[in-house]
Structure 1
Amino acid sequence: MQERVEQVVREFVSRVKPEAGELAADTPLYADGAGLDSLEAAELSAVLEDEFGTDPFQGETMPETLNDIVSFYATA
């Protein structure tokens, strides 16, 4: 499951932010990292919910990195 989560997030980021380059596990998803804005984060949220049935962006803390998203699904 971890590999599939990573693949989905990396494919999404490369599609919406190709200039961001390869997304490392600890790269911030926003601002100086991958550079996702709030609309893109909402779209990523929808993609993850469609793919895995739950949404890490609806938890008590917002995921900041790919590792945060993978950890959410590892404990869900």
Structure 2
Amino acid sequence: MLTVHHLGKSQSERIVWLCEELGIPYELKRYTRDARTMLAPAEYKALHPAGTAPVITDGDLVLAESGAIVDYIVAKFGAGRM
């Protein structure tokens, strides 16, 4: 199943929106930034060392950057709707 790794105050909200618009099943995993530094937590950086968002996982695939993620989701789940 597709998992959207959502880092607060980031562009990962657009990926959640896309999944909702397409009506696809996904899991939303939320992460909270460090209150002082505003950096991603270590658990998130284990997925993507740069600590930037968004990131999705789909099976063994880990994909970062919103444009690449949108392309992937639309190609896999869009069924010509976008």
TM-score, length basis structure 1: 0.31
Higher strand proportion, which one?
A: 2
Higher helix proportion, which one?
A: 1
TM-score, length basis structure 2: 0.30
Name which one, 1 or 2, has greater alpha-carbon Rg. Answer: 2
